[in-house]
Structure 1
Amino acid sequence: MTTPAPPLVEGISTLHGVDWEQFKTIEAALAHLGKGVKLSYFNGVLEIMSPIGPRHEDVKSTLGLLLEAYMREKGIRFYVCGGFTLESPKTASGTPDESYAIGTRKKIPDIVIEVIITSGRLHKTEIYRPKQVPEVWFWKKGQITLFHLEEQGYVQRERSVFFPDLELLMLQRYLDLADQYDAVSEFVEAIRRGDQ
């Protein structure tokens, strides 16, 4: 009889000096854990985050529902791309918590979302730069920030180029509501009233 493995404690482990082949070996070895472990790799640095807990999933889901409600109310065509791995072989690999293509389906999403519960050392924007992801959104410590890709790299902006009328503080206000259903319903009402 085998002894069950102890439960993973939420946290981040950072490994330095990991080449691409070593990263791919570690990734394959941890694949059986599914979404319980998230890997991010950039230029020899590997971060292993485990596990993804209920707070993380709640924020990710609610933020996604709010953004989707906004796009539907505004008649903005969008495609949910999900959390698939974006890789630039030998350099970078990252899996956003959610992602969206705006206007048409695309191989590279226009917006990726990262929910940060436990901070690591990697600059997550750099993971997505080789793939030229236009915007990276973060939720960290109860606050939404977004970075838009410009010629010199990612620059923090107050508003999305895809949603120039959407105030992040307004979005955050509804994300902070305790009940997800009420948050989305009240957000839709506010959009219809023109409260943004």
Structure 2
Amino acid sequence: MSTVIEPTLAQSRPEDGPVQRILLEGVPWARYEQLSACFPDSRAPRITYIDGSLEIMSPVGPTHESWKITICYLLEAFLDVKGIRFYGRGGFTLKDTGRAGGEPDASYCIGTDKPEPDLVVEVVDTSNALSKLPLHGALGIPEVWLWRREQLEIYVLQKPGALSDRGYRLSDRSGLLPELDVELLAAHVRMPDQYDAVRAFRRSMAG
């Protein structure tokens, strides 16, 4: 088993503090399940398992949470204005038993409530974080939104069940929500005031 420890990766803002990251290779699935059971609280370390690779990240900071919540508010505003039924599923643990497991930042079912979400939202704080795309692809989740370097990346599933990043295709538009202006939403995520951003986004759709 090999170990990578990176204790001083910087977050977007100084008040968040450093991100602490430990990556273990060659870890059996049973060990992942044991560790996950030890940290049920939402402020516990984030644990991700992908095909023998186990990543442990320190709890997310306020900047991470702010990005996530703003994206979710804007997405929900769009769905509400367009009259699209949706169900927020939060960040509960997703598992493809024996192969992959982890918690998304947020997730949604579109149209009807389902056991697995249709859309997952992830905020990526560090460039070398373990990709969760294989987890979502293995579970057949149709779409993943990554907020990375203040840009919104839309990944549309191409190969359900694939335990690799290649199961998804990077797209300039949402497959689930083709009417959504992705660049417009991203521009409102970057606005400094969350409340103003949501109101401005609603006005842009009304006009």
Q: TM-score, normalised by structure 2?
A: 0.85
Q: Kindly indicate whether residue 185 of structure 2 is the aligned counterpart of residue 171 of structure 1.
A: yes
Q: Kindly indicate whether residue 94 of structure 2 is the aligned counterpart of residue 86 of structure 1.
A: yes
Are the aligned partners of 2:173 and 2:182 in contact in 1 as well (CA < 8 Å)? Answer: yes
For 1:4, the equivalent position in structure 2 comes to none
| Deviation (angstroms), 1:33 | 5.2
For 1:75, the equivalent position in structure 2 comes to 83
Are the aligned partners of 2:93 and 2:101 in contact in 1 as well (CA < 8 Å)? Answer: yes
2:98 match: secondary structure: coil
Query: Quick one: structure 1 residues 23 and 58, their matched pair in 2 at CA, closer, same or farther if it must change by over 3 Å?
Result: same
Of residues 68, 73, 81, the one that matches 1:65 is 73
Unaligned runs of at least 5 residues, structure 1 = 1-7
Count of paired positions? 185
The amino acid of 1:35's aligned partner reads R
Query: Quick one: structure 1 residues 27 and 120, their matched pair in 2 at CA, closer, same or farther if it must change by over 3 Å?
Result: farther
- Report the more deviating stretch, 158-167 or 52-61: 158-167
Q: Stretches of 4+ moved more than 4 A in 1?
A: none
Q: Kindly indicate whether residue 176 of structure 2 is the aligned counterpart of residue 162 of structure 1.
A: yes
- Report the more deviating stretch, 18-27 or 59-68: 18-27
Q: Kindly indicate whether residue 57 of structure 2 is the aligned counterpart of residue 49 of structure 1.
A: yes
| Deviation (angstroms), 1:94 | 1.5
For 1:13, the equivalent position in structure 2 comes to 22
Are the aligned partners of 2:143 and 2:176 in contact in 1 as well (CA < 8 Å)? Answer: no
For 1:181, the equivalent position in structure 2 comes to 195
Q: Distance in 1 between matches of 2:85 and 2:129?
A: 35
Question: For the aligned residues, what is the CA RMSD?
Answer: 1.5
Q: Distance in 2 between matches of 1:172 and 1:17?
A: 37
Are the aligned partners of 2:45 and 2:58 in contact in 1 as well (CA < 8 Å)? Answer: yes
Of residues 28, 31, 38, the one that matches 1:22 is 31
| Deviation (angstroms), 1:121 | 4.6
The amino acid of 1:96's aligned partner reads P
Higher relative contact order (Cα pairs below 8 Å, separated by 6+ residues): 1
Q: Kindly indicate whether residue 190 of structure 2 is the aligned counterpart of residue 190 of structure 1.
A: no
Q: Distance in 1 between matches of 2:195 and 2:79?
A: 17
Are the aligned partners of 1:12 and 1:120 in contact in 2 as well (CA < 8 Å)? Answer: no
| Deviation (angstroms), 1:28 | 2.5
Unaligned runs of at least 5 residues, structure 2 = 1-16, 160-165
Q: Distance in 1 between matches of 2:131 and 2:57?
A: 14
| Deviation (angstroms), 1:36 | 3.3
Of residues 98, 105, 109, the one that matches 2:113 is 105
For 2:5, the equivalent position in structure 1 comes to none
Q: Distance in 1 between matches of 2:43 and 2:142?
A: 25
1:36 match: secondary structure: coil
For 1:5, the equivalent position in structure 2 comes to none
Q: Distance in 2 between matches of 1:86 and 1:32?
A: 13
1:127-138 aligned at under 5 Å gives the runs: 127-138=135-146
Q: TM-score, normalised by structure 1?
A: 0.89
Which digits, 9 at most, give the CA deviation of each residue in 1:38-70, with x for residues without a partner? Answer: 111011001111121000000000000000000
Q: Distance in 2 between matches of 1:87 and 1:143?
A: 27
